[in-house]
Amino acid sequence: MRNALGREIPSDIVGNTSLRPYGEATCDGPERSASRCVVSGAAKLLPDLKTALREAGARNGSTLSFHHHLRNGDHVLNMVLDAAAELGLTDLRIAPSSIFPVHAKLVEHIQRGVVSSIYTAYVVGPVAAAIGAGDLRDVAVLQTHGGRARAIESGELAIDIAFIAAPTADDYGNVNGIDGPSACGSLGYALVDARHARRVVAVTDHLVPYPARRADITQDLVDMVVVVESIGDAAQIVSGTTRITDDPIGLEIAATTAKVIEAANLLVDGFSFQTGAGGISLAVAKFVGERMRSAGICGSFAAGGVTAMTVQMLEAGLFSCIFDVQCFDLEAIRSYRENADHQCMSASLYANPWNAGAIVNRLDAMILGATEVDLDFNVNVTTRSNGSITGGSGGHSDTAAGAKAAIVTTRLRAGLVPKIVERVTTATTPGTTVDVVVTEAGLAVNPGRPDLKDRLIAAGIPVVSIERLRDFAAAGSGSCCETRLIDDGRVVALQQYRDGTVIDVIRQTRRQ
């Protein structure tokens, strides 16, 4: 036969194979890519979110995803769901990487049936309360940051439309987080959504001439661009500065933790480290940094949500690079913008247990928090002791599983409520992945790590049993930790472990 160019193509070439002759291309390949085909000259800029939802094929029951780099300053999730509600959409499944108090309006959308299913790695505020009270039609799925990446990459969580809160974008969908009034730094969590969603919409308040440089997310992944007045409240996106605790108990816990890391023989050249942005964690980083400096240790990398403290350590030469999934403060954003060794890390690179090896696998020491720890070293960061939802794993289970030393730092009690308990209210992170629990009354080592216990004792660090810590915690506790759980309350959420299995369920609680 002759193709559209008049070239003779033997029929055994185009007849017996899936090959078609030139001129008869179809845009119906086996993957989402084939159905997009943004051709030269086509425009991606759309007038508003409603148009974007329509163009992206949003329907009742669609899955919409969001990321949380704008944290409690995020306007995008609310704006998109308002637009969806105005379009009359119902039964939406949403998959924000985290949900904050700013998303209170989502409660209305849940109650009206606009949203009936939620997948997220972290949820606090009114939405957490609404899920706990049983307002959501489906059982909410609480993931880990790495587990969310796994679910998306493996197809377990198929995203129809990913909305990218874009601090800077051009008209063709190149997106960076370093410029603009809502700059947030790394867009690590959004990278996975952008790569795997069926359609991707960038929402920006800072449209720049093409091409937006240093894009974390590039035009080949973004189908549409919508310009809005504001994607976020800068004051709520990042802290001006993250603060080290000045509380003597917190400082004592931090100092002990730094000693544990050294006694565990981890503080050698090549040391790698991650902490959160909490006051005790930052104090641990400070003490560890001082020790590295005085001992002349060259670490390999620091990872995580990144703070000014991490940046200081990089700039002091204590680490050769940073892997950054999100920036917590302005210094982190500045460093991410200026320093090539301050690198972006996708949520998959960070923590996905099903790829060829996440960064958490190479962590030496991880400093973790806890709502509760139990006698099996299981950690709860999902609910309060009374059963109400307050958070979820985020990267907790991922880093605990990966790090050589996963160290929980916690006070014995929150107010009068004991935090070292017989059995956690909700299991978020399995005790088999937690090595040490450090409190103001001493520290306990997981019996699964006798080697570590021996090292600490040899270094003169007093080690007590977890039962002893439980007793200390109980001794000073009050009667305020009354459950809010409803008898025979239905399961309102499940805590999914990073590998996709169900590690625990969360049941309905009374409204406050």
Supply the minimum distance, in Å, between the C-beta of residue 497 and its own copies. 5
Type of residue at 266:
L
Interface segment toward its own copies; rule CB under 8 A; list 57-65, 226-234, 456-464, 501-509: 501-509
Walk across the sheet containing 365-368 and list its strands: 342-344, 321-327, 301-306, 273-274, 365-368, 405-409, 436-439, 442-445
* Cβ proximity to its own copies, 188 vs 418, nearer residue: 188
Interface segment toward its own copies; rule CB under 8 A; list 128-136, 218-226, 250-258, 277-285: 218-226
Burial annotation 9-34 (CB, 10 A radius, 16+ → b, else e): beeeebeeeeeebeeeeeeeeeeeee
| Residues in 111-150 at the binding interface with its own copies, rule: CB under 8 A | 139, 150
Interface segment toward its own copies; rule CB under 8 A; list 227-235, 451-459, 460-468, 490-498: 490-498
- Encoded one letter per residue, x for contact with its own copies by CB under 8 A and - for no contact, window 291-310 reads ---------xx---------
Is the omega angle on the peptide bond into residue 211 within 30 degrees of 0, that is, cis? yes
* Cβ proximity to its own copies, 74 vs 374, nearer residue: 374
Supply the minimum distance, in Å, between the C-beta of residue 495 and its own copies. 9
Interface segment toward its own copies; rule CB under 8 A; list 235-243, 285-293, 467-475, 503-511: 503-511
- CA distances from residue 214 to 137, 158, 295, 381 in whole angstroms, order as listed: 41, 28, 37, 35
Using CA atoms, how far apart are residues 173 and 52, in angstroms rounded to an integer? 13
With contacts defined by CB under 8 A, how many residues of the chain interact with its own copies?
Answer: 93
- Encoded one letter per residue, x for contact with its own copies by CB under 8 A and - for no contact, window 151-190 reads --xxxx---------------xx-----------------
DSSP 8-class letter at 242 = -
Supply the minimum distance, in Å, between the C-beta of residue 105 and its own copies. 29
Residue 289 Cα to chain centre, angstroms: 25
Type of residue at 13:
I
Type of residue at 386:
N
- The SS3 assignment for 321 reads strand
Question: Site for its own copies (CB under 8 A): which residue of 31, 246, 487, 488?
Answer: 31
* Cβ proximity to its own copies, 232 vs 431, nearer residue: 431
Supply the minimum distance, in Å, between the C-beta of residue 108 and its own copies. 27
| Residues in 328-387 at the binding interface with its own copies, rule: CB under 8 A | 340-341, 343, 346, 348-349, 352-362, 376, 378
Question: Site for its own copies (CB under 8 A): which residue of 159, 313, 330, 401?
Answer: 401
Within 13 Å and on the Cβ side, how many CA atoms surround 305?
Answer: 22
* Cβ proximity to its own copies, 220 vs 247, nearer residue: 220
Burial annotation 292-308 (CB, 10 A radius, 16+ → b, else e): beeeebebebbbbbbbb
- For position 501 contacting its own copies by CB under 8 A, the verdict is yes
| Residues in 439-468 at the binding interface with its own copies, rule: CB under 8 A | none
Interface segment toward its own copies; rule CB under 8 A; list 64-72, 213-221, 443-451, 468-476: 213-221
- The closest alpha carbon to 419, from 365, 457, 368, belongs to 368
* Cβ proximity to its own copies, 100 vs 319, nearer residue: 319
Find out whether 474 and 418 touch, Cβ atoms under 8 Å. yes
Q: What is the 3-state secondary structure (H, E, C) of 218-236?
A: CHHHCCEEEECCCCECHHH
Written as six digits, the tokens of 173 are 């969908």
Question: Site for its own copies (CB under 8 A): which residue of 10, 88, 248, 462?
Answer: 10
| Residues in 53-72 at the binding interface with its own copies, rule: CB under 8 A | none
Burial (Cβ within 10 Å: 0-12, 13-18, ≥19) of residue 269: exposed
φ, ψ for residue 165, nearest 5 deg? -70, 110
* Cβ proximity to its own copies, 153 vs 205, nearer residue: 153
* Cβ proximity to its own copies, 356 vs 458, nearer residue: 356
* Cβ proximity to its own copies, 78 vs 218, nearer residue: 218
Supply the minimum distance, in Å, between the C-beta of residue 18 and its own copies. 8
- The closest alpha carbon to 272, from 118, 444, 399, 439, belongs to 399
* Cβ proximity to its own copies, 285 vs 427, nearer residue: 427
* Cβ proximity to its own copies, 202 vs 282, nearer residue: 202
